[in-house]
A and B are shown apart, each in its own frame.
Chain A
Amino acid sequence: MSIWVDENTKVVVQGLTGSQGRYYGLLNQSQGTKVVAGTNPRKAGENVEGIPIYATVRDAVEKAGANASFVIVPAQFAADAIVEAAEGGVGLIVCVTEHIPMHDEARVHNLLKRDFPNVRLIGPNCSGILSPGKCNIGFTPAQVSKPGSVGIVSRSGTLAYQSVFELTEIGIGQTTCVGIGGDPVPGTSFIDCLDAFFNDPETEGVILIGEIGGSAEEEAAEFMASHPKKKPVVAYIAGVTAPPGKKMGHAGAIVSGNKGTAQGKMKALEAAGAIVAPNPTELGTLMKKALGRG
């Protein structure tokens, strides 16, 4: 099994008529994803390589059976696009757009929580979600993945890809790889992912990739320590050498004072029973050992 996306996921791409949306929408389709629609109020009735364009997400849900949305629109339109997707009736929204203003993100997060508690948002500013062989929404390079038994959750995109690659190289496949994104207010957290992976019968172990800033990794550690269905977790935290107070690209990756340091996060994860990898290269081999296959 996989979490949140599978062969029954039908994707509407908000932004399919834009250059980025077209590129990744078609790429995801070529990897086996069921891309059933795109939206653009000014281009309803047209199509992109045979994929029908509707005016709204609601139309895409009603007429093409979409149940998930891939939001890939410029930052100034992203918050509204996410709300439109939720109102339109999809259950999963994956938003890869970066540089969404913090106040927009905070408002959308609280709006979904209040009015659409059953809708899951992944991102924004994330690499997307991939279940090898079933569905890929976003940027994750499907060609380095293979179906299997390890779940991956990562704030960083490139480090998620690297861990998929390291696993595949030594013959371990993946159930699902979730990029939760580097922004301060992610729709889906490490905890959401750990809970889903621990409850997924096919997932045998989880790779968790965090970075400096915030306290999401510490909260994840606390959560996993007390989970009744806890599975082996191999973790990696980037940003050990990041100087305090400097933003390292991701809006979330900023250390203030002594809070959110890489060392503190590693300690918390280790105390909760995770194996902490010293660098991303060793994620694969450490997971192999943790699963008793090494």
Chain B
Amino acid sequence: MDLLEYQGKQYFARYGLPVSPGDVADTVERAVEVARQIGAFPVVLKAQVQIGGRGKQGGIQIANNLDEVRQHAEFILNLIIKDRSGLIGYPVKRLWIEKASDIKREYYVSFTLDRSAKQYLGILSAKGGVDIEQVAAVEPEAIARLHINPLDGLTREVCTDWVKRAQLDEEANEGAVEVLLRLYDVFTKGDCDLAEINPLILTPDGHVHALDAKVTLDDAAEYRHPEWEAFKGVIELDGREKLAAEKGLQYIGLDGTVGIIANGAGLAMSTLDTVKQVGGSAANFLDIGGGASAETVTAALEVINTDPNVKAILINIFGGVTWGDKVASGIVEALGNVNLAAPLVIRIDGTRAAEGRAILEKHLNERVMMARTMVEAARKAVELAAKG
């Protein structure tokens, strides 16, 4: 789960990490009220979206008086922040408003897992505030990396050396060590996949604190963090993703026309690819897991039915531990429960696939078809989708 900036700051505060005082607003009026409460200008208004690059797109503004607050809040709350690809837009629904900090210097710090080294990786740079990947590419020497064995943790001694190596301003060293040690706690005790501050700032009076917060929580650890419940209501899922989550399905919405249902994440991904290969485009990723019971297939079809872009549906099942005939019976039962919004192509292979296909045979018609291989099934579904 990716936290919004203000949630990340709240999470930082739990572990004693200093952040600027501020509050969240979802209307222009509320923004003005928050600014009034802060009581000092300038204030910063920051769009709260689960994606980077908002600064370059006008999502961060400084206001020197209440009129400017009103004006900028109006502007930002009507923004749609685009992702890297430029294809997916995130409408801004919330602002974070905080007292503007005097900035002497901007640094960068993050903790994440280095999958190759199978250890934690800390990244610290005296050149923060901008795209750190750019810095890494152009000036690799400006980045101080630190591998941390989870068994050893981050000791004060190691952290102090690391900060020295990063060549921050001399007066920032002490404050940076404190922040880094606490951020490491956020990352480990707080079960984060990523804990990042960009920028981490040095103020003219020598304080070091987090001006931004980027936190990705590890969903697998939710069972030991009841406090995460509070973050969940706010995170925006698209309507279908929400419906799928309620039904316990792994669903990701995409923008194509072929609705996809498969058992297993690998097979589902592979089905998306195959649809693309034969000239179509997938409307979604949907993994129904190993069981593929009638209820699961019903739920999957219901979710896909709500997508108006879907012009054909492809069910791709490999009978492993769950046999093909059992899955086929489940599909037949599901077809009785749901009115299909688009024609359906089914491919069943693997254990007892022949028996499964025999069961489906009796239920085939101009809306429900079968194909022998994955490629054939994809071809047929793409053809149907093109006819619309």
Whether B254 and A243, one on each chain, are in contact in the complex, defined by CB atoms closer than 8 angstroms, is yes
Whether A251 and B220, one on each chain, are in contact in the complex, defined by CB atoms closer than 8 angstroms, is yes
What separation, in Å, do the CA atoms of A30 and B228 have in the docked complex? 43
Whether B321 and A159, one on each chain, are in contact in the complex, defined by CB atoms closer than 8 angstroms, is no
Distance in Å: Cβ of B187 to nearest Cβ of chain A: 8
Interface membership of B277, Cβ < 8 A: yes
Whether B224 and A76, one on each chain, are in contact in the complex, defined by CB atoms closer than 8 angstroms, is yes
Whether A245 and B374, one on each chain, are in contact in the complex, defined by CB atoms closer than 8 angstroms, is no
Chain A residues with Cβ below 8 Å from B219 are 99
Q: Which of these, A27, A76, A114, A279, contacts B270 with CB under 8 Å?
A: A279
Distance in Å: Cβ of B282 to nearest Cβ of chain A: 7
Interface membership of B128, Cβ < 8 A: no
Whether B149 and A156, one on each chain, are in contact in the complex, defined by CB atoms closer than 8 angstroms, is no
* B255-267 to A contact mask, C-beta < 8 Å, 1/0: 0000000111111
What separation, in Å, do the CA atoms of A252 and B265 have in the docked complex? 11
What separation, in Å, do the CA atoms of A279 and B133 have in the docked complex? 33
Binds B, one of A11-19, A48-56, A63-71, A100-108: A100-108
Whether A154 and B266, one on each chain, are in contact in the complex, defined by CB atoms closer than 8 angstroms, is yes
What separation, in Å, do the CA atoms of A236 and B273 have in the docked complex? 11
Q: Which of these, B113, B273, B318, B350, contacts A106 with CB under 8 Å?
A: B113
Binds A, one of B14-22, B92-100, B116-124, B138-146: B116-124
Chain A residues with Cβ below 8 Å from B120 are 106
What separation, in Å, do the CA atoms of A252 and B118 have in the docked complex? 13
Interface membership of A257, Cβ < 8 A: yes
* A118-142 to B contact mask, C-beta < 8 Å, 1/0: 0000000000000000000001110
Whether A248 and B151, one on each chain, are in contact in the complex, defined by CB atoms closer than 8 angstroms, is no
What separation, in Å, do the CA atoms of A248 and B268 have in the docked complex? 9
What separation, in Å, do the CA atoms of A24 and B263 have in the docked complex? 18
Interface membership of A75, Cβ < 8 A: yes
Interface membership of A8, Cβ < 8 A: no
Closest B residue to A250 using CB positions:
B265
Interface membership of A244, Cβ < 8 A: yes
A110-B266 in contact given A141-B320, A185-B113, A279-B277 (Cβ < 8 Å): no
Interface membership of A155, Cβ < 8 A: yes
Closest B residue to A278 using CB positions:
B277
Whether B318 and A100, one on each chain, are in contact in the complex, defined by CB atoms closer than 8 angstroms, is no
A159-B264 in contact given A102-B218, A106-B150, A241-B272 (Cβ < 8 Å): yes
Whether B285 and A184, one on each chain, are in contact in the complex, defined by CB atoms closer than 8 angstroms, is no
Binds B, one of A33-41, A207-215, A226-234: A207-215
What separation, in Å, do the CA atoms of A144 and B354 have in the docked complex? 13
Distance in Å: Cβ of B351 to nearest Cβ of chain A: 5
Chain A residues with Cβ below 8 Å from B373 are 281
Interface membership of A219, Cβ < 8 A: yes
Whether A103 and B375, one on each chain, are in contact in the complex, defined by CB atoms closer than 8 angstroms, is no
Chain B residues with Cβ below 8 Å from A276 are none
User: Interface size bucket, B side?
Assistant: 35 or more
Whether A161 and B320, one on each chain, are in contact in the complex, defined by CB atoms closer than 8 angstroms, is yes
Distance in Å: Cβ of B60 to nearest Cβ of chain A: 21
User: Interface size bucket, A side?
Assistant: 35 or more
What separation, in Å, do the CA atoms of A110 and B150 have in the docked complex? 7
Whether A161 and B265, one on each chain, are in contact in the complex, defined by CB atoms closer than 8 angstroms, is no
Q: Which of these, A162, A211, A240, contacts B350 with CB under 8 Å?
A: A162
What separation, in Å, do the CA atoms of A109 and B374 have in the docked complex? 37
Whether A139 and B320, one on each chain, are in contact in the complex, defined by CB atoms closer than 8 angstroms, is yes
* B312-346 to A contact mask, C-beta < 8 Å, 1/0: 00000011110000000000000000000000000
Interface membership of A173, Cβ < 8 A: no
Distance in Å: Cβ of A126 to nearest Cβ of chain B: 11
Q: Which A residues, 244 to 267, have Cβ-Cβ distances below 8 Å to chain B?
A: 244-253, 257, 262
What separation, in Å, do the CA atoms of A101 and B115 have in the docked complex? 14
Whether A159 and B267, one on each chain, are in contact in the complex, defined by CB atoms closer than 8 angstroms, is yes
Chain A residues with Cβ below 8 Å from B191 are 101-103
Chain A residues with Cβ below 8 Å from B224 are 76, 101
Q: Which B residues, 229 to 269, have Cβ-Cβ distances below 8 Å to chain A?
A: 250, 252, 254, 262-269
Distance in Å: Cβ of B322 to nearest Cβ of chain A: 9
Chain B residues with Cβ below 8 Å from A76 are 223-224
Closest A residue to B149 using CB positions:
A110
Closest B residue to A240 using CB positions:
B273
Chain B residues with Cβ below 8 Å from A151 are none
Chain A residues with Cβ below 8 Å from B374 are 279-281
A109-B118 in contact given A241-B272, A243-B254, A249-B250 (Cβ < 8 Å): yes
A156-B264 in contact given A102-B113, A139-B290 (Cβ < 8 Å): yes
Whether A211 and B115, one on each chain, are in contact in the complex, defined by CB atoms closer than 8 angstroms, is no
Distance in Å: Cβ of B279 to nearest Cβ of chain A: 12
Distance in Å: Cβ of B193 to nearest Cβ of chain A: 6
Q: Which of these, B83, B262, B320, B375, contacts A279 with CB under 8 Å?
A: B375
Whether A239 and B149, one on each chain, are in contact in the complex, defined by CB atoms closer than 8 angstroms, is no
Q: Which of these, B133, B150, B266, B274, contacts A158 with CB under 8 Å?
A: B266
Chain B residues with Cβ below 8 Å from A252 are 115
Distance in Å: Cβ of B385 to nearest Cβ of chain A: 15
Q: Which A residues, 140 to 185, have Cβ-Cβ distances below 8 Å to chain B?
A: 140-141, 143-144, 154-159, 161-162, 165, 182, 184-185
Most buried by A among B221, B250, B275, B282: B221
Distance in Å: Cβ of B241 to nearest Cβ of chain A: 11
Distance in Å: Cβ of B354 to nearest Cβ of chain A: 12
User: 5 closest Cβ contacts across the A-B interface?
Assistant: A156-B266, A249-B265, A158-B264, A101-B221, A158-B267
- 9 A-B Cβ contacts within 8 A? A107-B150, A111-B151, A159-B270, A165-B349, A184-B115, A209-B266, A239-B269, A240-B272, A240-B273
Give B residues with C-beta under 8 Å from A. Answer: 83-85, 88, 113, 115-116, 118-120, 133, 149-151, 188, 191, 193, 218-221, 223-224, 250, 252, 254, 262-270, 272-277, 282, 285, 287, 290, 318-321, 349-351, 373-375
Additional A-B contact list (16), CB under 8 Å, known A101-B218, A185-B118: A24-B321, A99-B220, A106-B150, A157-B320, A158-B318, A185-B113, A211-B266, A238-B269, A240-B272, A246-B252, A248-B268, A249-B268, A250-B265, A251-B220, A252-B115, A279-B274
